[in-house]
Amino acid sequence: MFDNLSDKLDKALHVLKGHGQITEINVAETLKEVRRALLDADVNFKIAKEFTNKVKEKALGENVLTTLQPGQLMVKIVKDELTQLMGGDAEEIDLSGNPSVILMSGLQGSGKTTFSGKLANYLQSKKSKKPLLVACDVYRPAAIDQLHIVGEQIGAEVYSDRENNDPVAIAKAGVKHAKEIGANVVIIDTAGRLAVDEQMMTEIANIHKAITPNETLFVVDSMTGQDAVNTAKAFNDILNFDGVILTKLDGDTRGGAAISIKSVVDKPIKFIGTGEKMEAIDVFYPSRMADRILGMGDVVSLVERAQEQFDEEQARKIQKKIAKNRFGFDDFLTQIQQIKKMGNMKDLMGMIPGAGKALKGLDIDDDAFKHIEAIIHSMTPDERSNPSKLNASRKKRIAAGSGTSIQEVNQLLKQFQQMSKMMKMMQGGGGKKMMQMMQNMR
């Protein structure tokens, strides 16, 4: 996420490191590189210029605190200004209606249908809502089928009318159906177009007028950069939408849309899509995003994701097994599944401060656990519960069954044994022993 922009900003801010004080000359040199980095990320020229002017004004007006180096102070100022540029504070969606009606809008291919499902999943799992998805895209082949598949995936009802070609009538009937079945949120998936055109704008304006939604959200593909910002402005002029959804932030995103869009349309980014899974949706926090852009990670979001997947009852069972020395590969497999549910590995690693830079250029496969799972699944239930039974012939059978080598099976066993010892030491409070163990593992 924003790797290229992060790298260029880091190089730009590196100019001030080693300087004893902030001067007009070294600030000008730094901000020239910052502006270049923003333009390369497809940020609007005017916005990039205004941004660097604000940073310059603040930097030259600041007295460097004795505890801060000039480089550190500049990073803080850039971070604060980036946060403000992207909206300042996080804004949630309005769910006050009964039912609350959410209208999705955007161009074709921006990810509206998939995100409608993600939003429904988010609302039912985290807000205890009962959502109804309404299929109003009557033009794209298989659009209705896609929404039904998404609804089935997350366990949410989908309303559609294949015999009706009037999106306005379908939207009104969908809201009526929601009241009949007791759904308290209606998410209306509308048709996209390949470009902004009058027919499209008239249609969505008519739907908006007919259902008077609590929230109108504009879904934008963040990979399209400045084009996304221009499209958002065209939509906003007609619809006056309430917020923006940025999708595909896990892709090769330059960052221009995330940084520019709030400034251009004066509407907040409310959610971001960070992957293909239905759980890959996050509330947009400008300060956390600024941290990530500047390579500082996002520990708060990482902890929140871990807490969402944390099962207290399961943790208690595992604690008891560790105490009785009965922690097996089935338990290990459960831990792996919880980590996988947190999101794609590269995104998770990017949330750790400093890890983004360290992992630059490395291809972290989302299926990093696949060979481990294959090895564990090739074991018998008895072997998974009692790893000590794994002798040479059993290891040979497991390697053949999982498509791996005996060396890989041995490596997994060694790592599993070391992890089990560590977990037992942590549970017993043996901090000193644990430190010795970690040194031995190097």
106 is in an annotated binding site: yes
Higher pLDDT, 8 or 85: 85
356 is in an annotated binding site: no
Q: What residues does CATH 1.10.260.30 cover in the chain?
A: 303-440
Residue 335 among known ligand-binding residues: no
- Is position 415 annotated in a ligand binding site? no
- pLDDT for residue 430: 46
Ligand-binding site membership of 305 (annotated):
no
pLDDT higher than 70, residue 181: yes
Neighbours of 243 (CB within 10 A): 21
Q: Does domain 303-440 have CATH number 1.10.260.30?
A: yes
Q: Is 71 annotated as a binding residue?
A: no
Query: Higher pLDDT residue, 407 or 32?
Result: 407
For residue 307, pLDDT beyond 50: yes
- Encoding tokens for residue 220? 């934008």
Q: Is the Cα torsion angle 356, 361, 365, 371 positive or negative in sign? A: negative
Q: What average pLDDT does range 13-32 have in this prediction?
A: 66
Is 306 labelled as part of a ligand binding site? no
Superfamily assignment of 100-294 in CATH?
P-loop containing nucleotide triphosphate hydrolases (3.40.50.300)
Task: Flag whether 7 is marked binding.
Answer: no
Closest by CA to 188, choosing from 201, 202, 176, is: 176
Token pair for 291:
């941290």
Q: Give the pLDDT band (50/70/90) at residue 148.
A: very high
Question: Is 124 flagged in the annotation as binding?
Answer: no
What stretch(es) of the chain map to CATH 1.20.120.140?
3-86
Q: What is the pTM of this model?
A: 0.65
- The confidence score (pLDDT) of residue 32 equals 81
Q: Among 34, 2, 38, which residue's Cα sits nearest to residue 16? A: 34
Neighbours of 287 (CB within 10 A): 18
Q: pLDDT, tens digit, for every residue of 186-204? A: 999 988 766 667 777 888 8
108 marked among binding-site residues:
yes
Edge-to-edge strand ranges of the sheet holding 157-159: 157-159, 131-135, 185-189, 100-106, 215-221, 243-247, 269-273, 281-283
Q: Which of 132-141, 239-248, 347-356, 412-421 has the lowest mean pLDDT?
A: 347-356
CB–CB of 244/265 below 8 Å?
yes
For the domain 3-86, what is the CATH superfamily, name and number? SRP54, nucleotide-binding domain (1.20.120.140)
* Start-end of CATH 3.40.50.300 domains in the chain: 100-294
Is there a binding annotation on residue 107?
yes
Q: Residue range 30-58: average pLDDT?
A: 80
- The per-residue pLDDT for 19 is 53
